[in-house]
Structure 1
Amino acid sequence: MASGADQFSLRPDPRRRSTGRGAHVHPTPACLESALRRRAFGRALRITGVIDTGELTGAIHGS
């Protein structure tokens, strides 16, 4: 996750090497869509504001 002024970006970290808070989601489109629909990332990461999921969505749909 990268952040800046109430805007957050979710990034995949398949090697689990990034520092900071993270959230696990199965790398399947169905699980991603469910997490987005339930707004699970905001709760799991304890953040409010805009969450850009483009990079994560691209990685999951591209895998």
Structure 2
Amino acid sequence: MEPVRTCVGCRLRASRSELLRVVAQDSEVVIDDRATMPGRGAWLHPSPECFTLAIQRKAFGRSLRIANLSTADLQNRLNGKWTTDERLEMRPVND
């Protein structure tokens, strides 16, 4: 049986494989693709709708227990403004 987590945006429970784990790193919310980064994590559906709900509810700061977090990179990735390079690392698309 796969572990079940709760999305910080919509508050619906889903399997771990359906959600993205995010962590706070240097006052910025970053995606933990492998779910192995140290520290407190939060789970989010990979959709702009759940991201918007999480921002409105101030869920990232509360669940990660850090105030004044930047979510710009996470928002760009969820809105499709990221690409994968040949080393399989995520990087922003130059506009």
Q: Same fold (TM over 0.5)?
A: yes
Greater per-residue strand proportion: 2
Q: How does 1:17-56 map to 2 (within 5 A)?
A: 17-48=36-67, 50-56=68-74
Segments of structure 2 that go 5 or more residues without pairing to the other structure are 1-23, 83-95
What percent of counterpart residues are identical?
A: 38
Other structure's SS at 2:33 match: coil
TM norm structure 1: 0.81
Aligned length: 58
* Structure 1 runs (4+) greater than 6 angstroms displaced: none
Over alpha carbons, which structure has the higher Rg?
2
TM norm structure 2: 0.56
Greater per-residue helix proportion: 1
Greater relative CO (CA pairs within 8 A, separation 6+): 1
- Alpha carbon RMSD of aligned pairs, Å? 1.3
Segments of structure 1 that go 5 or more residues without pairing to the other structure are none
